Structure 1
Amino acid sequence: MTSEILIVGKGIAGMTSAIYLTELRPDIQITLIDKSDGSSSATFFAQGGLAAVQSTLDSFDSHYRDTLEAGHFLNDPKIVREVVTRAPEVIQDLSSWGVSWDRFEDGRLNLGLEGGHSFSRIVHHGDQSGKIIHQQVASKLRNYPNIQLIEHSAVRDLWVEEGECKGVIVYQEDLSQEMTIPSQTVILATGGLSSIFPRSTNAQNSTGDGLAIALRAGVKTGDLPWVQFHPTVLNIGSTDHSNLLTEALRGADAYIINEKGSRFLFDSLSKGELSTRDLVCEAIWREIAKDPNSNAYLDCRHFPKGTMIRSFPQVYSLCQRANLDPEKDLLPILPAAHYHCGGISTDRTGKTSLPRLYAVGEVARTGLHGCNRLASNSIIEALVFAKNAAAALALEHRKESANSYQLDTRKIYSPDIFGQPSVIDFWKESLFEYFMKKSKPEFGSLQEIRDRLQILELSVERGIYSTTILKERNLLQIYEALLIFNKNECVHDFPYQKNRI
């Protein structure tokens, strides 16, 4: 097997990095690695769509201002300007690859409105935009013979020598085997970390793997505490990622109400339901805190009959499975972890502080989002920076001899004795108390985490580990970084820290 460019992750960031690069340099051998088959990526479950100026009533300046305001002006203005002005370009790329969008009968795009946006500018496909995009891009990916896939394989660590990234170390559980795969360049496109929290809108495997392996390699990171929560997640006693109620519902005039039927958001927010996610989350938590036995609700009962099943079929199906009828019933909601605005620090081409290592998508901290992401800005960010990274690599890539790409393997013993899912869940609950509720956890001090990490590291070094052990190791690696950040009191200087519960 030869690999000149190795991409970790098969969501939109990883797949489009491969496609953009192949279209510029079809002579480059690309390997795409994913720990599943890509169908559990954040892209696949994205409901809303992509934000881009598509109307003469709208403007780049407006999208630019909305992005800065949502991020509380902690964004990088140059990056914001680049992404919003190039959003129509990358949406056109998707269209040329066969992705279809909702349109009116006359052919005009049916643009959605979401919280924080001044105009309707969300290009979408019902409430299944991510799934449609993922399926179409994955289909296109199969057309390129120079792109090889390795699925159901977890990247354990970066292979770093002489201050450069030389490849990755991969664990294949079904073969009880570890492979060291050399590569001229590695691109991390591993997604976010929301599933380190007990309640998340992401798939359970969104555990911050790329960030964790970068931290172990000493790669520079930024804005790690800036985790965005989504305010409208169906609260039915389940933490299933599919419980997300798309932002587009509020854009379509759904209400958020309390037990008395009052639209309480307007008590503190002039834009009410169309305020940014962090402010809506804060208002919901503040309302619930008045009475721990109360609930907040999303109210769609005033929608014209048939709107839900016609325009929001995924949400309608979710409600049916929960024995709720959105045309007749209030939908109980509670915020859940949704998106990581921080991550591995990169420049506009995806370069990191470690030579020969790039990062693209949610795992990267580009400066676009500030401390709070504007709705539907995530996929356009992934596309713009995937395209930038591909352009940079296409120019700088030089062929190396085949001898540079020799695989190395070793057998792994996987007794699964060091980590169990219940242990991981307990870490999540305990540290959630500390980070989000500011109360002392039963355990989870910095020293306890380091002691546990030392045990896990020794196990991995000796070749005695499993997928569960790697998952716990990555989880604790991220918690250690967050605790250090908190210990240095950087978090407390953040003016909107209280909004991130």
Structure 2
Amino acid sequence: MKQTDYLIFGSGVAGLTFAIKIAMHFPDKNVTIITKSNADESNTKYAQGGIAVVLNQIEDNFQKHINDTLICGDGLCKKDVVEMVVKEGPKCVQELIDWGTQFDKNETGSYDLGKEGGHSYHRVIHHKDQTGFEIERAILKQAHLQKNITILDFHFGLELLIENNKCFGSTVLNEKTNEIITFLANQTLLATGGIGQIYGHTTNPEVATGDGIAMANRANANIKDVEFIQFHPTALYNADLKSTFLISEAVRGFGAILRDKNGKRFMFDYDARGELASRDIVSQSIEKELKISGEDSVFLDCTHLEINAFKKHFPMIYERCKDLNIFIETDWIPVIPAQHYLCGGIEVDTNGKTSVENLFACGECSYTGLHGANRLASNSLLEALVYSDRIFNYLKTNSNFLPGKKSFGSEIIQQENNFDKNKKMSKIRTKLQNLMQKNVGIVRNNNDLNRTLRELIILQNDIKLLESKNHISKELYELKNMIDVSILIVNQSLQRTLNCGSFYKV
């Protein structure tokens, strides 16, 4: 049994920025970060586009950003939250800059602001097409400078320790030794990112298995609006449907055109904004085109763009396409919608507090009300920055520290390892991903949802059986979490009757 003052799950922008601030403010307190892979592996790392933030108040202003967010959220945003995040954003972005994050500038020395779908003005601050990678680099370096932050990589959160609706920490699996450790904590923060791996085709990394949401759900925290799942319109298409490479929204903002196989520019048939419509509309439009044509993909045409400027803005995208013998100067890029972002999650208030005392959530695993039914492009990193700052400011004056060690026994007991389980787990995972991809995607219907729910419950029982007979592993618990979150998504999809934003049911 170990004790820490602050226990954080996740090493992306949400978890790390909170850790840095709380560690600097309380230099005599211990901050422990649990991350199930390398410390730099997170959804943040793969964010290409940037951060939507008002930095030029001559042509842009807070109200325009607020309006764009509300329009994109299709009536389900919390207006007070939108106003708060937009107005507090510039201060939080400046902190990233102060910590060494490098954002692109133009010839005049001003920040080179991009424009993405749903935005009325150029306001996306970025580092080429690798913004998340640059942010992760800078904040991880800053975290390592804090002597009271301990980062435990290859450790995996299992179950939150709950008593009388209060969180006292969590059980954690050391993936290298297979030891289960009980971590007692005064405050626990879930910043575990997204749920993409429950789908067969996603832009999310391998670590995005919905762990924080599943842990919170088993602790009876409120989970809200997980039926609102954003599909990115333009993931690079591969025949095996396993590519997770994203062709950034900013490429369309830069002037790229969507075409069908015959070269027709189809987006204006669906929306007056064409390629710059919000992601839900572009994704649904591509889905309709593919159903009409029977083709596997549509195409993103960049051949008319100035190639040197493209290479400067999107070097990673250019090189990845080139590696696949797609030459942007002459070739169209095959693209298809892929699961990208979860708009709902663990319900929190404006201080990041969940319905369980001493338990906080931040970033993609949380539901704040900012995104409503559909996230405005590049608002996600902004939300993570503002809410990690809100949680820090709340706990700066509201941290209650436990007087010594509390007795807390773990209910998890390691079984003998059964090496035959891996094949069974692989089959369950593939079946889950196929079910969700086919029946709980861009367009849903109640018959498919009900059938999927029945099959998911069978898979859940299969996992319970494996869990009772086998050594606990990260892979087994990830699969358990993926199924638990999938059931939440299907149930909330069945409950929602009106289509809006990223939710569409026929």
Residues 275 and 441 of structure 1, relative CA distance in 2, 3 Å threshold = closer
- Match for residue 275 of structure 1 among 274, 277, 292: 277
Q: Residue by residue, what CA displacement relative to the aligned partner does 1:267-324 show, whole Å, maximum 9, x if unpaired?
A: 1211111110000111111112111036311011011132232221110111012111
Aligned match of 1:428: 433
Which of 128, 131, 136 pairs up with 1:129? 131
Q: Distance in 2 between matches of 1:421 and 1:63?
A: 44
Instruction: Output the CA distance in 2 between the equivalents of 1:480 and 1:46.
Output: 27
Task: Note if 1:413 corresponds to 2:416.
Answer: yes
CA deviation after TM superposition for structure 1 residue 433, in Å: 2.1
Q: Within 5 Å, give how 1:100-179 maps onto structure 2.
A: 100-179=102-181
Q: CA deviation at 1:147?
A: 0.7
Segments of structure 1 that go 5 or more residues without pairing to the other structure are none
Map of 2:353 onto structure 1: 351
Cα deviation digits, residues 125-150 of structure 1 (max 9, x gap):
10111000001100110011111111
Distance (Å, rounded) in 2 between the aligned partners of 1:480 and 1:416: 27
Tell me, yes or no, if structure 1 residue 91 matches structure 2 residue 106.
no
Partner SS for 2:159: strand
Aligned partner of 1:36 in structure 2 is 37
1:250-399 → structure 2 map (5 Å cutoff): 250-293=252-295, 295-399=297-401
CA distance in 2, matches of 1:499, 1:318: 32
Which one of 492, 495, 501 corresponds to residue 497 of structure 2?
492
1:257–1:296 Cα contact (<8 Å) kept: yes
**Structure 1, residues 115-172: CA drift from partner, whole Å, max 9, x if none?**
1000000101101110000011001100111111111011111111232111111112
Aligned length: 499
Alpha-carbon separation, structure 2, partners of 1:352 and 1:396? 15
Range 92-101 or range 154-163, more displaced = 154-163
Letter in 1 for 2:460: L
Aligned to 1:184, the other structure's residue is in SS state strand
Contact in 2 for aligned 1:155/1:168 (Cα 8 Å): yes
| Structure 1 Cα separation of the partners of residues 413 and 440 of structure 2 | 39
- Report deviation, 1:460: 3.9
C-alpha separation between the residues in 1 aligned to 2:199 and 2:157?
A: 21
Give me the whole-angstrom Cα distance separating, in 1, the residues matched to 2:328 and 2:171: 48
Q: CA deviation at 1:182?
A: 0.9
Q: Which residue of 2 aligns with 1:482?
A: 489
Contact 1:421–1:468 (8 Å) recurs in 2: no
Supply the distance in 2 between the matched residues of 1:496 and 1:410 (Cα, whole angstroms): 44
Percent identity for Structure 1 against Structure 2: 32
Are residue 2 (structure 1) and residue 3 (structure 2) matched? yes
**Range moving further from structure 2, 63-72 or 103-112:** 103-112
1:65 equivalent to 2:67? Answer yes
1:421: how far off?
Answer: 2.2
Distance 1:119 1:456, change over 3 A: same
1:196-228 CA deviation, whole Å, 9 max, x = no partner?
111100102201111111111111011010000
Whole-angstrom distance in 2 between the partners of 1:438 and 1:117: 28
Q: 2:236·2:243 contact (CA, 8 Å) conserved in 1?
A: no
Picking from 202, 205, 220, the partner of 1:203 is 205
The one-letter code of the counterpart of 1:450 is I
Residue 417 of structure 1 deviates from its aligned partner by 3.9
Alpha-carbon deviation of 1:478? 1.1
Counterpart of 1:228 in structure 2 is 230
Q: CA deviation at 1:191?
A: 0.4
Contact between 1:21 and 1:390, CA under 8 Å: does it hold in 2? yes
CA distance in 1, matches of 2:368, 2:77: 9
Q: Is the 8 A contact 2:374 2:501 kept in 1?
A: no
AA paired with 1:378? Answer: S
Rate the CA distance shift 1:241–1:38 in 2: closer, same or farther, 3 A.
farther
Q: Could you say which residue in structure 2 is the equivalent of 1:11?
A: 12
Unaligned runs of 5+ in 2: none
Out of 377-386 and 169-178, give the one that drifted further.
Answer: 169-178
After superposition, the C-alpha distances for 1:228-254 in whole angstroms (9 at most, x for unaligned) are 000011112254565200111111111
Whether the 8 Å contact between 2:415 and 2:468 is mirrored in structure 1 is: no
1:372-419 per-position Cα deviation (integer Å, ceiling 9, x unaligned): 100010001001000000111111113333434989796553325444
C-alpha distance in 2, partners of 1:471/1:249?
33
2:50–2:131 Cα contact (<8 Å) kept: yes
- My pick for the range that moved more, 135-144 or 157-166, is 157-166
TM-score when normalising by structure 1: 0.94
- Give the 3-state SS of the residue equivalent to 1:175 in structure 2: coil
Distance in 2 of aligned mates of 1:243 and 1:27: 42
Q: What amino acid sits opposite 1:468 in the alignment?
A: E
Deviation by residue 1:21-49 (Cα, 9 ceiling, x = unmatched)? 12322222110000011333110011000
TM-score, normalization: structure 2?
0.93
Match of 1:48 in 2: 49
Which letter maps to 1:114? E
Give the superposition deviation at 1:494: 3.2
Greater Cα shift, 373-382 or 30-39: 30-39
In structure 1, give the amino acid aligned to 2:68. Answer: D
User: Which of these residues, 157, 179, 182, is aligned with residue 180 of structure 1?
Assistant: 182
Distance 1:24 1:238, change over 3 A: farther
Distance 1:449 1:499, change over 3 A: closer
